[in-house]
Structure 1
Amino acid sequence: MDEKVKIARLSVISNTLLTGGKLAVGLAMNSVAVISEALHSGLDLTAALIAYASVRQSSRPADAEHNYGHGKFENVAAIIEALLIVAAGIMIVLQSIPKLLGAREVHHLGLGMAVMGLSAAVNLVISSLLMRTARRTGSPALEADAWHLRTDVYTSAGVFMAMLAIQLTGWYILDPLIALAVSLFIFKAAYDLLRGSWGSIVDARLPDDEERLIRQVLTSYAGEFVQFHDLRTRRAGPDRHIDFHLVVPGYRPISQVHQLCDAIEDDIRRQLDGASVLIHTEPCRPGTSDCHVCRVHISLAGSAQKHRCEECHACAGRLEGVPPDTNGNG
């Protein structure tokens, strides 16, 4: 929690300084591209404040009102941040179209290039730190904030190249054209953020690679249970919720089953940070497909195992060449 809060606070500070600097320079230059970048950074600042508040909230433990914790506060924050990115793109388009129809001279190009270059460099560093922390902690709010700043890197670099091109060619129409190109990057980033965060809000399952890790853990314990089914997964902010049914041999004492479940849960948590695992155990059912697995267990364990399988007489009967009881008595 401290790591996430610290990096979110750093994003707030850097965005505050960059927003003020870009706005002052853009007004002095009469550049719609630089002013658009200032508006973009202003929304980045708003997004950073939202991310800061959401990571503090999501780190709170579960309580009586939020039994599953506060992780989805980060998903809500990420959606709000994505909508702010859309708003930034719309403002840039609205400012650029009039200038496109009547391009005006842009002043102090050297100053604009210096500010854009500095902005791109600072945001590249901060966004890289945010993205690294977001992936390590599974924080969608920090990831959204990182994408805010990463788009700022691209757009600042684009405006820098526009200022350079204007200085070399004198084509002032490049100023609104570059601003419109900036808006396209912004809309693409907003779409990606909305798609990812909306999936968590509507309880979409975990990605294929994460579910594959869960199945690999279960496979490593294959000799300890009969089968598993009804695997369900979802994500809430940085937290992952996993539940499934585990079919175990009916003769096994509940204490052994509990130990098995604890071991599986611990291994899944080691593979997936922030995983909350719920396992519903049930005994095997003689006379069904479960018996095939029991038959394998019995043949591997030898005759010493047969007398323990009190609920799998049907399986043992097949091994002895005796037909199973069809009256439901095992």
Structure 2
Amino acid sequence: MIRPLGVLAPPDPEVARLKRRVTLASLAVALILVALKLAASIMTGSVSILSSLVDSVSDSGASLVTLIAVRQAMRPADAHHRFGHGKAEPLAALGQALFVTGSALLLCVEAVRRLIEPEPVGEGPVGIAVMVFAIVATLLLVRYQDRVIARTQSLAVGADRLHYVGDLLINLGVILSILLSQYAGVTEADPVIAVLIALHLIRGAWKIARGALDALMDRELPEAERDEIRKIVLAVPGVRGMHDLRTRSSSVHTFIQLHLELDPAAPLADAHGIADRVETLLRARYPDAEVITHLDPKGVTEFVPTFR
């Protein structure tokens, strides 16, 4: 049955704690890498290190936005936000995607300039040492993010993780660029690898934006999950059928609405008990879910949308 207004289940405190910790960790890692890469970029003059620096700057900005968004999203529902604040996370993810895209385009401009006016890369060992440190720090952070995502299914943390997974490839590319430029004399390698890094960033930004837009536009849950919802509902004794299943996710809460088809002769108390059983089972499977059921007598014709 429909819950009273304002009683959306509050976010899990453990989930909130994990999200806060992982966003603080990602911000700390990003700021440390920005400082190190800035120094390495000045010392080496490498545009590929500059590209990695731009990426780390975008990471730090994105991690800060994620930190703020996660704190906002985990606020409980209130009188002005009856469905909670969960959409703060996809909004943050969309902002990250736009920021990364802009940074990548600026990076392409600088890389093209370096192709036209090549500049040698210096202090190769310094640049390589910084990149190796960045790889180790990023690997540790990504492993931590994986554990948090498995527990929380956070869209914002997932978007943040995508940045850092890309960083692993970027840092390896920078090391290759330095080796080719300084030790093999292939000066074009530096800007070419920078362009490849920029294209990788744009591709990752598109993935982030697509997931964020799905959440903001209330896209249905995957069909496999919708099928599982149907199986749970139809297995409840007394349920004769169901229709008009509607689902969406705000990244913090899942929303499930459906019409239950019951015996027309069933007493109201029995129908109420069946609906409560359905909602209890669905919340057991989706602990963060807001479940709304509407009771229909089996066989009564009503308007049903053409989509499933």
TM-score (norm 1): 0.83
Match of 2:255 among 238, 241, 246: 241
Structure 2 partner of 1:74:
89
Shift of 1:273: 4.1
Give 2:25's aligned amino acid. L
Match of 1:265 among 258, 263, 279: 279
Match of 2:196 among 181, 186, 208: 181
Structure 1 partner of 2:288:
274
Which structure is richer in relative contact order (CA contacts within 8 A, separation 6 or more)? Answer: 2
**1:130 and 2:145 matched:** yes
**1:113 and 2:128 matched:** yes
Cα distance in 2 between the residues matched to 1:84 and 1:134: 23
User: Secondary structure of 1:224's partner?
Assistant: coil
Shift of 1:102: 1.6
Match of 2:222 among 193, 207, 216: 207
Cα distance in 2 between the residues matched to 1:209 and 1:121: 37
Give 1:59's aligned amino acid. M
Cα distance in 1 between the residues matched to 2:206 and 2:184: 35
Structure 2 partner of 1:21:
36
Shift of 1:256: 2.5
User: Secondary structure of 2:78's partner?
Assistant: coil
> Aligned residues, how many?
287
Cα distance in 1 between the residues matched to 2:124 and 2:240: 72
Q: Which of structures 1 and 2 has the bigger CA Rg?
A: 1
Give 2:262's aligned amino acid. V
Structure 1 partner of 2:187:
172
Cα distance in 1 between the residues matched to 2:234 and 2:143: 36
TM-score (norm 2): 0.89
CA offsets per residue over residues 25-76 of structure 1, 9 Å max, x none?
1111111111121111011001001111111111111111111000001010
**1:52 and 2:67 matched:** yes
Structure 1 partner of 2:306:
none
Structure 2 partner of 1:198:
213
User: Secondary structure of 1:10's partner?
Assistant: helix
CA offsets per residue over residues 101-142 of structure 1, 9 Å max, x none?
121111111111111121122112212322332242121111
Give 1:92's aligned amino acid. L
Q: CA RMSD in A?
A: 1.6
